[in-house]
Structure 1
């Protein structure tokens, strides 16, 4: 293009404009509180929050280590397993009539599937760029409903579980040596005692019978009359007095060497 007295202007598309700075994030000052640069503003906040939670979990694992229970025994039908705390809500849901028994598939698959599916669809149903919760009623309502359900079901599971019985069932008890051919053990195995106290006296629904510190007479009295605290009701013993004497003497001699 020619202008003026023979002056020519030549443009080269290979030369980039000097005022472009691709590494500098856009200026979002015109929209305060509504949006921000992903890098580094938003990502840095996410890393900081993640680091705080990670350190918190590490402190908890060091301060309160996970408790250990006795070795799993598939033949022990009296043991009641309990899931970890983050699955207690599902554990409680399966106790209700509409989600257990013949309706187990409803509580195990259908209801959790609908809940997770609804949460996954929220971003597609609410496409607003607004970030304030009260300006986004649909996702806020879904989240409050989900959190409330998790808290309620977890609380109900903890409140209604027999933790004392669970501690006895899962307690690590050293195996005691005994003669399975002895008359005392035969009486024990043929009575109702073995169902609650275990085939190796390790306990279950009932207390362990090793190192009880009780005399034979005290054990015989408990077998007939139960315990004062009501943990064992009277009337379980149905054998003869001679069998009761043999059994109580056998149990009183069970010791961990």
Structure 2
């Protein structure tokens, strides 16, 4: 802000101060009224919508898919679409950190005297795009439901089994390609090179702890899951073991 802008600011400030109203009681009354409106809305939502309650917590399950609160849905969706998995820390930590740093440094790199949105096209456009992007990602994260995608190429006949594997929570303990976790279960990327189809079925129905049993799973879905797992051979596409 140069000397001319400072003088203009001081003149406008003195005019506004002479015509303005004191903070108390005018601003206090407006803030109090808005606080009451917000409280009424929250109480009405609690009375008519209620809390989003899930089933009773089971600390032994490995198939439960946790969901964040709604105000984290946008970040949840970013993590979903980021591929490969090694870039996940960039989305989860790097991007929010950069945004926070930019906000903290805003007074130092935005030294313009203008405050009207139409006279600040870059800042206004950036703000609108940020709000629209976060709104879209929040909507997509809310509508996505449980994870339903495993990023590996399989034949069309194995797509139903791939969907079952994603929805059954297999990625919570296993890794398939670059999807999922490195434990506590073994990697399944090349499970067909180690176990025949019958052994995979027996493992699903009678596993060792802490893996849950899938004996009660619908027969058709279980067979689709077995078929999908039985064709996972990693980069080696040799015949399955006898």
TM-score (norm 2): 0.51
Q: Deviations over 1:98-121 (max 9, x none)?
A: 5x6222221111101112222333
Q: Which residue matches 2:57?
A: 72
The counterpart of 2:81, out of the listed 82, 96, 102, is 96
**Structure 1 or 2: larger helix share?**
2
In the alignment, structure 1 residue 28 sits paired with structure 2 residue 40: no
Give 1:76-155 correspondences, 5 Å limit. Answer: 76-97=61-82, 101-126=85-110, 131-155=115-139
Shift in CA distance, 112/81, structure 1 to aligned 2, threshold 3 Å: same
Give 1:42-81 correspondences, 5 Å limit. Answer: 42-81=27-66
TM-score (norm 1): 0.48
Shift in CA distance, 97/235, structure 1 to aligned 2, threshold 3 Å: closer
- Classify the secondary structure of the residue corresponding to 1:86: helix
Shift in CA distance, 44/138, structure 1 to aligned 2, threshold 3 Å: farther
Q: Which residue matches 2:24?
A: 39
Report deviation, 1:60: 0.8
Report deviation, 1:91: 0.9
| Contact map agreement 1:192 1:236 (CA 8 A) in 2 | no
Q: Which residue matches 2:204?
A: 192
Q: Which has the larger radius of gyration?
A: 1
Report deviation, 1:78: 1.8
- Classify the secondary structure of the residue corresponding to 1:95: helix
Q: Deviations over 1:129-188 (max 9, x none)?
A: 6553223435433432331121111112123324999xx99xxxxxxxxxxxxxxxxxxx
| Contact map agreement 2:65 2:146 (CA 8 A) in 1 | no
- Classify the secondary structure of the residue corresponding to 1:65: coil
What is the aligned length?
164
What's the Cα RMSD here? 4.2
